[in-house]
Structure 1
Amino acid sequence: MKQTLPSALMNRRTLLKWSCGAALGSSSLLATLGGLTAMGSAAAAGSSGYRALVCVYLYGGNDAFNLIVPTDSTGYAAYRSARVKLAIPQSSLLPITAKTPDGHQYGLHPSVPELQSLFSTGQLGVIANVGTLLAPVTRMDYLAGNNLPQQLFSHYDQTNQWMTSRPETPDLTGWGGRIADLLQSQNQANGLSMNISLDGNNVFQSGNTVLPYAVDPQAGAQDFDGLTANDPAERLKAFQSIIDQGSASANLLEQQQAGAVKQSRMLGKVVRTALGQAPVLKTVFPNSDLGQQLKMAAQLISVRSQLGATRQVFFVSMGGFDTHDNQPIAQPRLFSALSQALSAFYNATVELGIANSVTTFTQSDFGRTLTNNDNGTDHGWGSHHLVLGGGVIGGDIYGSMPDLTIGGANDADLGRIIPSTSTYQYAATLGQWLGVSNSDLATLFPNLNRFNKANLGFMA
C-alpha cells in the first residue's frame, strides 16, 4: 500500500516513526498510553468551536524550488543557471499572482493545476524558505559556523528538528504533542487522544502526556487479531481472563498493561461506532496512499461530535522525496499526487461545511540543493511549504523568497539555501490559530523571541 521508497530512507522513516515509543501491536493500544493521561491544564486563549490541524509530512526532503519558481526574466535566469537540466521550462509553469508583490513573478510546477486553482481562489498560501534555525543566519554566519542547528543535512536529525521544532536540542516531544498537552482538556474526557495519526506513531504528535492515537487509513480502528465477532468465543473468554488477572495483580506493570489494553479496546469500539455513522462523502479521493490517509482524516473529522472532539491534530505522510536521481521522472508524479490529494481533502472539508475550521500544512526533512547530481539533487536546508484551508489568508507568499544565485547571499554552499523563516515561526502561527495562548508560546518554542515575528500572519 505504501509507495516504494529507497531502503535507506525506509529505515530512517521507520526509526523516526517508532523512536518515541515501543512498537505496540494494535493501533488502538498504540495510542491508549497517550489517552491514559493527566489532561493538559493550560487553557486556550479565547478559542471556541472546532478546529483541526492536518500535518502532511513529505519524507525524504522535498525539492520545493521546482514547485514554486520565479518566472520573471531576472528571477528565472538565476533559477535556470542554478538548476541546469533540472529546470522546469519557463513556458510550462502555471502562473500565480501573489497579493503582496516582491518585484518578481512566480509559477507552479505544471503537475499541480489543483494547487494553482486553490492559490488563485485564496485557500492556499505559500510559506517561503522555511527551515530549522536557532536564530537568523547569514552566509557569513554559516561559513563561520555560528548559530547552526546540529547535524544539518541529516535526514534523521532534521526530521526530528522539524517535528519537534526544537533544533537547539534533541527532543522526544513534538510540537503537535506539546500543543495537545495544553489543549487536550478541551475535548470530551473519554480518553481519546486529541492527536490522531493515519501513519503510525511519530515524534510530531508525541507530547509529555499525550501520544497519538493510530488509525489505519483503510480499516479504521482495529481490534487485536483473533478477537473479532467472527472468532471463537473461547478465545475472547481466555483473553479476558488474562486481562482480569493483570488487573488484579500486585505487579504495577501488569496492572498498567491490563488497564491500557482495556481502554484500548474501549476506545477502538468508540471510534469504530463513530465511523459507522460517518456520512458517505461525495468528494472523490485519489486512490493513492496519501489520498486514502486524507480520506480517513475527513471521515474522522465528520464524526468529531460523536468523538467529543473540539481540537484535533492529524498526521499523514507521503514518501519518495529523497530525489538524488531520476528527479525529472519522479517529481511530476510526486507533485501530481500531492496536489490531487490536497485538493480532494479541501473539497471534502467544504462538503462537510467545516473548511474554515481545518488547516492543512506541509513539513519535510529539508529542501534540496539548487545544483544537481546528474539528474537529481542533494540534501539542502531551506524550502517552501504549503498551507491550505478556509482559515488561511491564501493567494499570497509569506516570508522572503530567496535569491537563487549560486554563491549569492542566500546560498550556504553548493546551492543549499539558507532559510529566512524558522520552523518556530511556522509552528507558532499554526499553534496560535489552534488556540495556544501567547503566554504559552515561549514555553513551546524557546527561541521564538530571536525572530522579528512570532506570527507570520497567514491565518485569519
Structure 2
Amino acid sequence: MKRRQFIKRTSFATSAAFVPLFLKPFESSGSITFEGRNLVIIQLSGGNDGLNTLVPFNNDLYYQNRAKIGLPKSDLILLNDEIGLNRGLMPFKRLYDQGHLAIINSVGYPNPNRSHFRSMDIWHSASDSDQYLSSGWIGRYLDAQCYPPHGAVEATSSLSFALKGEKVNGFATGSSLGSMNSQIYNSLSKNFAGDGKEMLSEGNLGYLYKTIADTHSSIAYLKGKMDQSPSGREYPGTSLGRDLKLIADLIIGGSETSIYYASLGGFDSHQNQSKTQETRLSIYADAVESFVNDLTKNGKFKETVIFTFSEFGRRVQENASEGTDHGTANVAFVIGDNLKQQGLINTMPDLSNLDENGDLIYEIDFRAIYSTLLSKHLNVKHESIIGSSFDPLYFL
C-alpha cells in the first residue's frame, strides 16, 4: 500500500490514539523557539463578492452593472464620502475607527482560475495558476521551522491543503479535542482489520509510529493548553464563533502555535445574493469581534494578526438571478493591534478598466500578503516558503 493511501485510510491528520511509552522517541521535536506571535487565517469559502462587501457607492458604473443587487448608500456603513461597508460588517466599523483594520483591494494573481477547487488550491499552495505544488504554504512553513503538528492548527474536522507539508502536516482539531481517542480507535479497528500486515510493512511501520506519536502528543498538548484558559467567555453560537473560541482557548492558554486556520462557507452567491451575503458577513464579523475582544481582555491581541481571504471575487455584472457568478480579484482584510497602515491600503478597483472577460484586474498578488505575514509578523524568511518574487507589503 502506498504511503498516500495509507495516510488517507488511517485519517491520522485529525485523530489520536493511546501511545505507549516506547513510541515516545518517534515524536517530532521542534527546533525553532516560539516567539509568542499568532497568525489567524479565516477563509470565506465559495467566493465572497468583494464589490458588495466594500461598496463604491459614488461610482455610477457600479450601479449600471448592478441595477438589482447594487447596495444603496442608505444601506451602507460609510467609511468616507466614496466607500461604504456592507451593513453585515457593522463590527468592522468599530475596528476601522480604532485603527485595527487594514483593507486591501484587488487581491488576486495572474491568469485567474474561476473554479472553486483549483483557485482554492492556488491560494493554499501559493502556486502560479498553471503550477501544481505538492505542499501547502503553511505546511512548508512547518517544514522549514521543524515544528510539530500543533505548530499550525485548523479548527475543522479535516485538514486543508494549505497546512500539509512535505515532512510535517498541521493539526485539525475536529469537532472537539475530547472526542479524538474514540475516533482513532474506530479508524484503526476498521482499516487494519483486513490488511493490517500490508499496512504495517517495513516501509509504513516507522511512518505509522511517528504519525501516531506526533498526533497523540499534539492532542495531549493542546488539551492541556485549553484547560488553562478561563471559562465563561461568550461567543456567538455559530460554527465560526465556536471555532474562534477554540482558537482563543489555545492562544490564551499559552499554546505554542504560530498559525491558526478557520473557515466559513456560504459565499457562492449565484442567486438572491444581497440578503444571503449580508447574513454570512454578519456571522463572520460578529465572531471576529468577539474574538478580538476576548484576546484584548486577556492580553493577547497585540501578538495576533487576523487575515481573511476568499478564493476569488465575483463578476462585476450581476446575473439574471439577482446574484453574481465567479470572478477574479477580491478584497482582503487584515486585523491587528500593530498595523503600520490602517484603513484603505490601496484604491478601489477600476470599474472602467476590466479584463477581456469583463472582470476585475488584480493589483496585489496574494503571495505578497503571505510574504508580509511571514516576514514581518512571524519573523521568518519568506523566500523558501513563498518564493523570492513577492516582496512584502507595508501594512505591518
TM-score (norm 2): 0.85
Which residue of structure 2 lines up, in the alignment, with residue 456 of structure 1? 393
In structure 2, what residue type is equivalent to 1:442? E
Name which of 382, 397, 405 aligns with 2:344.
397
How far off is 1:204 after superposition?
1.1
Compute the RMSD of aligned alpha carbons.
3.2
8 Å contact from structure 1 (residues 123, 394) kept in 2: no
How far off is 1:183 after superposition?
3.0
How far off is 1:165 after superposition?
1.4
1:193 aligns with 2:150: yes
8 Å contact from structure 2 (residues 150, 218) kept in 1: no
1:430 aligns with 2:373: yes
Alignment identity in percent? 24
8 Å contact from structure 1 (residues 370, 414) kept in 2: no
1:108 aligns with 2:55: no
How far off is 1:415 after superposition?
3.6
Q: Note the alpha carbon deviations across 1:7-64, whole angstroms, 9 max, x for none.
A: xxxxxxxxxxx9996264452349x9xx9787787x79xxx83111111111111101
Gapped runs of 5+ residues in structure 1? 1-17, 98-103, 134-147, 186-190, 229-235
- What pairs up with 1:41-190 in 2 under 5 angstroms? 49-71=35-57, 73=58, 75=59, 77-97=60-80, 105-133=82-110, 148=111, 152-167=113-128, 168-185=130-147
Name which of 355, 361, 364 aligns with 2:307.
361
In structure 1, what residue type is equivalent to 2:70? A
How many residues are matched? 376
Name which of 148, 170, 194 aligns with 1:212.
170
8 Å contact from structure 1 (residues 40, 181) kept in 2: no
Give the direction of change, closer, same or farther, for the CA distance of 1:38–1:434 in structure 2 (3 Å limit).
farther
Which residue of structure 1 lines up, in the alignment, with residue 238 of structure 2? 288
Name which of 329, 341, 347 aligns with 1:382.
329
In structure 2, what residue type is equivalent to 1:132? Y
How many Å separate the matches in 2 of 1:251 and 1:213? 25
How far off is 1:255 after superposition?
4.1
SS in 2 for 1:170: coil
Give the direction of change, closer, same or farther, for the CA distance of 1:173–1:360 in structure 2 (3 Å limit).
same
1:28 aligns with 2:10: no
How many Å separate the matches in 2 of 1:226 and 1:447? 40
8 Å contact from structure 1 (residues 172, 203) kept in 2: no
Q: Note the alpha carbon deviations across 1:252-286, whole angstroms, 9 max, x for none.
A: 4234324432443343233223322221153x211
Gapped runs of 5+ residues in structure 2? 20-24
SS in 1 for 2:269: coil
SS in 2 for 1:111: helix
In structure 2, what residue type is equivalent to 1:121? Q
In structure 2, what residue type is equivalent to 1:94? I
Give the direction of change, closer, same or farther, for the CA distance of 1:268–1:49 in structure 2 (3 Å limit).
closer
Which residue of structure 1 lines up, in the alignment, with residue 227 of structure 2? 276
SS in 1 for 2:162: coil
Give the direction of change, closer, same or farther, for the CA distance of 1:302–1:373 in structure 2 (3 Å limit).
same
How many Å separate the matches in 1 of 2:184 and 2:325? 46
Which residue of structure 2 lines up, in the alignment, with residue 224 of structure 1? 182
- Give the structure with the higher percent helix: 2
